[in-house]
């Protein structure tokens, strides 16, 4: 799926090569925003952004949803290096009432689904009118849970990626493109 002229970058001790361009990302995110807007026409929407990785995707996605929209954040930690630790920890809880609201959970990437399952079980979401999931990237080969990912940007193989909000040990979130581990 690489779309860019091969560009290689180094973050810490690892090399990454281009995978998805900024143009491809913004085009698909615009389409996702239009789809969400159609699905919730006339409704108020609450976007629950899973930090830290989804901040960039959420900013672009929300700019493409022309509805009354509130935005909240939850910070979950689950990665160590290039692999999921398998353990989730809330570092910033949901701080707004979502009872009776249509909620779209915004994820940067859904791989095993452990973080997603943890978020979906948060007590705040149990009182929402509806809950759907939007993820910029989805790894069907790695996914082990049963929650439907309603809005998918790109399905990708089970590889480690950085950029556009995703990081490797804190670096790479600011990159405009997405890069894969070389």
In a domain, 95, yes or no: yes
Tell me the mean pLDDT in the region 103-129.
91
Q: Which of 42, 6, 19 is nearest to 155 (CA)?
A: 19
Number of domains in the chain: 1
Catalytic residue among 13, 108, 111, 177: 111
The reported pLDDT for the residue numbered 75 is: 86
Examine residue 16 and state whether it is found in any structural domain, yes or no.
no
pLDDT for 33 beyond 80: yes
Alpha-helical regions (H) of 13-169: 22-39, 55-63, 114-120
Whole-number percent of the chain with pLDDT over 90: 76
Strands 14-20 and 45-51: unpaired
Cα(142)–Cα(66) distance, integer angstroms: 33
In which domain, by residue range, is 102 found?
Answer: 25-156
- Answer yes or no: 111 catalytic: yes
Residue pair 177/4 in contact by the 8 Å Cβ criterion: yes
Query: Is residue 67 assigned to a domain?
Result: yes
Residue 133 falls within a domain, yes or no? yes
Closest CA to 162 of 174, 178, 176: 178
The answer to whether residue 20 sits within a structural domain is: no
> Residue-wise over 57-69: b if at least 16 C-beta within 10 A, else e?
bbebbbebbebeb
Lowest-confidence pick of 72-76, 78-82, 111-115, 141-145 = 78-82
At 93, which CATH number?
3.40.50.2020
Q: Residue 126's pLDDT band (boundaries 50, 70, 90)?
A: confident
CA 62 to chain centre: 13
Peptide bond into 52 cis (omega under 30): yes
**Structure tokens that stand for 80 in this block:** 């160590």
Residue 75 covered by a domain: yes
Q: Is the pLDDT of residue 2 over 50?
A: no
HEC profile of 143-173: CCCCCCCCEEEEECCCCCEEECCECECCECC
Entry pTM: 0.88
As a whole number of Å, the end-to-end CA separation of the chain is 14
Is there a domain that residue 166 lies in? no
**What is the SS3 assignment for 86?**
strand
């Amino acid at each position: 799926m690489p779309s860019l002229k091969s560009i290689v970058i180094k973050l810490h001790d690892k090399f990454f090569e281009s995978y998805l361009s900024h143009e491809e990302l913004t085009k698909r995110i615009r389409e996702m925003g239009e789809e969400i807007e159609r699905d919730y026409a006339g409704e108020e929407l609450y976007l629950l952004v899973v930090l830290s990785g989804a901040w960039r995707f959420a900013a672009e996605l929300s700019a493409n949803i022309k509805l009354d929209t509130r935005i909240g954040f939850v910070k979950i930690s689950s990665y160590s290096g290039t692999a999921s630790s398998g353990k989730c920890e809330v570092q910033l809880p949901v701080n707004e009432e979502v009872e009776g609201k249509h909620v779209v959970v915004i994820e940067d990437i859904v791989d095993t689904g452990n973080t997603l399952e943890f978020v979906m079980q948060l007590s705040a979401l149990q009182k929402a009118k509806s809950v759907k999931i939007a993820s910029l990237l989805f790894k069907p080969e790695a996914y082990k849970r049963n929650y439907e990912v309603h809005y998918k940007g790109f399905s990708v193989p089970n590889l480690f990626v950085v950029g556009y909000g995703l990081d490797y040990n804190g670096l790479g979130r600011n990159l405009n493109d997405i890069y894969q581990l070389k």
